[in-house]
A and B are shown apart, each in its own frame.
Chain A
Amino acid sequence: MYTPHTPDEIAAMLAAVGAPSLEALSDPPKGLEIRTPFDVAAALPEAEAFADIARMAEANGASRMISFLGAGAYRHYRPPAAAWFATRSEFLTAYTPYQAEASQGSLQAIFEWQTYMCLLTGMDVSNASVYDGSTAMVEGAIMATHATEKRRFGVSRAVHPLYRSVLQTYAEGMGLEIVELPVDGDGRTQLTGDRAGDLAAVIVQSPNFFGCIEDVAAAAALAHAKGALLIQVIAEALSLGVLKSPRELGADIAVGEAQSFGMPIGYGGPYAGFVATRREHVRRLPGRLVGETRDVDGRRAYVLTLQGREQHIRRELATSNICTNQALCALIATAYLATVGARGLRAIATANLARARMLAGRIASISGFSPAHRAPFFNEFTVRTPEPAADLVRRLERHGILAGVPVSRYYPDLTHDLLVCATETTTDADADRFAQALREEVAHAVAAV
Chain B
Amino acid sequence: MPSLLFELGARGRGSDFVSDAGRPEQFLDRDVLRDAPPIPDLTELEVARHFTELSHRNFNVDANFYPLGSCTMKYNPKVDEAVANFPGFTELHPLAPDDQAQGALELLWRMERALSSLFGMTRFSLMPAAGAHGELTAMLMAKKYFKLRGESERVTCIVPDTAHGTNPASAAMVGFRVVAVPSTPRGHTDLKALQNRLDGSIAVCMMTNPNTLGLFEDDIVEMTRAVHAAGGLMYYDGANANAIVGLCRPGDMGFDLMHLNLHKTFSVPHGGGGPGSGPVGASKRLSAYLPVPLVSRDAGGVFRLDSGVEHSVGAVRAFWSHFLAVVRAYAYVIVHGAPGLAQNSRLAVLNANYLRAKVKEILTVPYDDACRHEFVCSAEALKKATGVRALDLAKGLLDAGIHAPTMYWPHVVPECLMIEPTETETKATLDGFVETLRELVDLARRDPEAVKALPRRTPVRRVDEAQAGRLANKGIGLRWEPGAQAERSESS
Q: Per-residue CB proximity of B1-45 to A under 8 Å, as 1/0?
A: 110111001010111111111111011110011101111111010
Q: List 30 A-B contacts (CB under 8 A).
A: A4-B425, A4-B427, A28-B248, A32-B248, A37-B338, A39-B117, A43-B337, A53-B83, A59-B106, A60-B96, A61-B100, A63-B90, A63-B91, A63-B96, A85-B47, A99-B404, A126-B478, A129-B274, A162-B319, A163-B318, A166-B318, A172-B144, A173-B136, A213-B28, A244-B34, A245-B34, A267-B324, A269-B323, A293-B464, A293-B467
The answer to whether A39 and B216 touch (CB under 8 A), given A34-B248, A77-B18, is no
Q: Are A282 and B39 in contact (CB under 8 A)?
A: no
A175 to B272, CA, bound (A): 34
Whether A41 contacts B337 by the Cβ 8 Å rule is yes
A interface residue count range (under 10 / 10 to 19 / 20 to 34 / 35 or more): 35 or more
> Is the CB–CB distance between A77 and B17 below 8 Å?
yes
Whether a CB of chain B sits under 8 angstroms from the CB of A3 is yes
Residue among A55, A65, A115, A170 making CB contact with B479, cutoff 8 Å: A115
Q: Is the C-beta of B113 less than 8 angstroms from some C-beta in chain A?
A: yes
Contact of B102 among A59, A87, A99, A279 (CB under 8 A): A59
Report B-chain residues with C-beta under 8 Å of the C-beta of A315: 165, 168-169, 178
12 further interface pairs, Cβ-Cβ under 8 Å (given A111-B480, A268-B94, A311-B168): A43-B336, A44-B335, A60-B92, A112-B4, A119-B39, A266-B90, A282-B474, A292-B488, A295-B464, A308-B469, A314-B169, A343-B16
Our pick among B92, B346, B468 for the contact of A26 (Cβ within 8 Å) is B346
Q: Are A347 and B174 in contact (CB under 8 A)?
A: no
Check B200 for interface membership: any CB of A closer than 8 A: no
Asked if A415 lies at the interface with its beta carbon under 8 angstroms from chain B, I say: no
Across the interface, name the chain B residue whose C-beta is closest to A322: B132
| Chain B positions 66-94 with a Cβ under 8 Å from a chain A Cβ | 66, 68, 71, 73-77, 79, 81-83, 86-94
Query: Bound complex: CA of A131 vs CA of B404, how far in Å?
Result: 27
The minimal Cβ–Cβ distance linking A327 to chain B, given in whole angstroms, is 4
Most chain A CB within 10 A, of B91, B102, B277, B458, is at B91
Residue contact B398 to A323, C-beta cutoff 8 Å: no
| Assembly CA distance A240 to B34 (angstroms) | 8
Contacts A266-B324, A267-B93, A301-B463 given; does A1 touch B336 at CB 8 Å: yes
Interface with B: A90-98, A183-191, A220-228, A431-439, which one?
A90-98
A12 contacts the other chain (CB 8 A)? yes
Question: In the complex, what residues of A have CB within 8 A of residue B394's CB?
Answer: 99
- A49 lies within 8 A of chain B by Cβ: yes
Per-residue contact bits, chain A 235-279, to B (CB 8 Å; 1 contact, 0 not): 000001111110010000000010000001111111010000001
Are B349 and A25 closer than 8 Å at their CB atoms?
yes
A311 and B55 contacting across the interface, CB-CB below 8 Å = no
Q: Which residues of chain B are near A448, meaning CB under 8 Å?
A: none
**Is B383 among interface residues, defined by CB-CB distance under 8 A?**
no
Taking a contact as CB atoms under 8 Å apart, the answer to whether A342 and B36 are in contact is yes
Q: Beyond A93-B270, A289-B478, is A49–B313 a contact (Cβ under 8 Å)?
A: no
Is B330 a contact partner of A53 (Cβ separation < 8 A)? yes
**Once bound together, how far apart are the Cα atoms of A31 and B225, in whole Å?**
14
- Minimal beta-carbon separation of A447 from chain B (angstroms): 25
- The answer, yes or no, to whether A104 is at the interface (CB within 8 Å) is yes
A26 touching B350 in the complex, CB below 8 Å, given contacts A94-B272, A101-B455: yes
Interface assignment of A16: CB less than 8 Å from any CB of chain B? yes
Whose C-beta in chain A lies nearest to the C-beta of B249?
Answer: A34
For A337, the closest partner residue in chain B by CB is B39
Q: Would you call A365 an interface residue if the criterion is a C-beta within 8 Å of the partner chain's C-beta atoms?
A: no
Q: Are B477 and A293 in contact, with the CB atoms below 8 A?
A: yes
Q: Residue A10 at the B interface, CB < 8 A?
A: yes
- The CA of A50 and the CA of B83, in the complex, are separated in Å by 7
Residue A300 is within 8 A (CB to CB) of chain B in the complex:
yes
* CB pair B314 A169 closer than 8 Å: yes
User: How far is B175's CA from A334's CA once the two chains are assembled, in angstroms?
Assistant: 36
Q: Closest Cβ of chain A: how far from B55's Cβ, in Å?
A: 4
Interface-side segment among A67-75, A366-374, A380-388: A67-75
Residues in B with CB closer than 8 Å to A134 are: 315, 317-318
Which residues of chain B from 241 to 276 have a CB within 8 Å of any chain A CB? 243-244, 246-249, 252-253, 269-276
User: What A residues does B353 contact at CB under 8 A?
Assistant: 13, 17, 19, 25
Task: Give 1 or 0 for each of A396-423: 1 = CB within 8 Å of chain B CB.
Answer: 0100001001000100000000000000
Distance of A23 Cα from B339 Cα, bound (Å):
13
Q: Is A348 a contact of B99 with CB atoms below 8 Å?
A: no
A395 to B: closest C-beta gap in Å: 12
B interface footprint on A77-112 (CB within 8 Å = 1, 0 otherwise): 101010001111111111111011111111011111
A445 interfacial by beta-carbon distance below 8 Å? no
